[in-house]
Structure 1
Amino acid sequence: MFDPTVFDNLKTVLEGAIYDLDLDGTIVITDRHDFVDLAHFSRTYHITFRLQESEETGVLCTVTLQTKLEQIAGELLQQNLTKPGCMLTITFYMPIQQIETTCPLIEDTLLGIWGANRLIRQTLRRDYKSKTEAYDNEITIEFGRLIHEENVTDLQAMVPYMLKSLQQLQPFYGM
């Protein structure tokens, strides 16, 4: 009989919580990827969504769950050397123009939602020959630790934080 891995269990919970919001019309799921990397023996799951009411100019949120060889092998071989878990990353995407003023506002907003002990990284990109002054801002929230099966309720509790982040980042869209 198949015994699902920690990754499979966490992915199922995360996916269910997000799809429930899609079904009730709160969000729209715009993309989903479920990768198995045979070269590095890792698994990665991405799900991307936006708020329902922000069709054309919506901030996007991508949740990424990832596990690597060490975690998978330790779990499948039942080695108690390390506790099996997954890395969780939450990334928001939005264009901005006034980077000197908007980036600090975004950081303060997200620190207010997620807490001061989270690493929030903003990466700005713009095509060299672009005639627009807008930058693509990739805002990543990292947790700096593995998520384990006993963190399932924490994982579910993060979904409202993602929604609140989308709502509070919306006024900065294109700013």
Structure 2
Amino acid sequence: MDPTAFDNLKTVLEGAVYDADLQGRIAVVDRRDLVDLARLLREYAISFRLNDAPDPFVVCTARLSLDFAELANERLYRGQAGCRLALLFALPVRRLSVCPFIEGTLRTIWGRERIIRQTLRFPFPHERGPYENEVAVEFARLIYEENAADLPAMVPYMISSLEQLQSFID
């Protein structure tokens, strides 16, 4: 059986990230390749940070996911399967006032049409921070196998995002 579009996109994304790792620009810190049987979902995520970033550092996770409907469309009907791509940036912040600047920075890099969500977490009862900020950059469309060449081209933007977000850490 031929590999799915998801498998091909995953391979391209993984290769592009590891190429940047081999060049010494970033360090891969985690990788997950999951099959969720309860929700019938495939997900691949690769996490990395700047190689020379001081601690604490920003972590970028590039997440590719495929739901059952898209997989069935490809396998059963020989249709075109699309995957979702999201980028997650995790960084500690001390002040909530930096959040609009974080969003503005990512909009400058990724464009106005992207969905950007920030989720702040803190350990109870320390409401005044520091906060763990997870910033999601979501693409409001599916990506297809013919978009595979876009994935390596996105890695420099991910690295630029890491560099610029690192400046928000006190």
Deviation of 1:87 (Å): 0.4
TM-score (norm 1): 0.93
Which residue is 2:87 aligned to?
90
Which residue is 1:10 aligned to?
9
Say whether residues 1:156 and 2:159 are aligned partners.
no
Q: Distance in 2 between matches of 1:69 and 1:24?
A: 36
TM-score (norm 2): 0.95
Q: Which runs of 5+ in 2 are unaligned?
A: none
Question: Could you tell which deviates more after superposition, 139-148 or 127-136?
Answer: 127-136
How many aligned positions are there? Answer: 170
Which residue is 1:42 aligned to?
41
Q: Distance in 2 between matches of 1:40 and 1:113?
A: 33
**SS in structure 1 opposite 2:104?**
helix
Which residue is 1:124 aligned to?
120
Output the amino acid matched with 1:135.
Y
Say whether residues 1:171 and 2:167 are aligned partners.
yes
Q: Distance in 1 between matches of 2:57 and 2:102?
A: 15
Which residue is 1:73 aligned to?
72
Alignment RMSD (CA, Å) = 1.3
Output the amino acid matched with 1:25.
G
Poorly superposed stretches of 4+, deviation over 6 Å? none
Q: Distance in 2 between matches of 1:110 and 1:37?
A: 30
Deviation of 1:39 (Å): 1.9
Deviation of 1:129 (Å): 2.3
Q: Quick one: percent identity of the two aligned structures?
A: 51
Q: Distance in 2 between matches of 1:98 and 1:49?
A: 24
Q: Distance in 2 between matches of 1:31 and 1:20?
A: 15
**SS in structure 2 opposite 1:94?**
strand
Q: Distance in 2 between matches of 1:160 and 1:62?
A: 14
**SS in structure 1 opposite 2:77?**
coil
Q: Distance in 2 between matches of 1:155 and 1:20?
A: 12
Say whether residues 1:104 and 2:100 are aligned partners.
yes
Deviation of 1:133 (Å): 2.2
Output the amino acid matched with 2:105.
T
Output the amino acid matched with 1:138.
E
Deviation of 1:131 (Å): 7.8
Kindly indicate whether the alpha-carbon contact (under 8 Å) linking 2:56 and 2:92 is maintained by their aligned counterparts in 1.
no
Say whether residues 1:146 and 2:142 are aligned partners.
yes
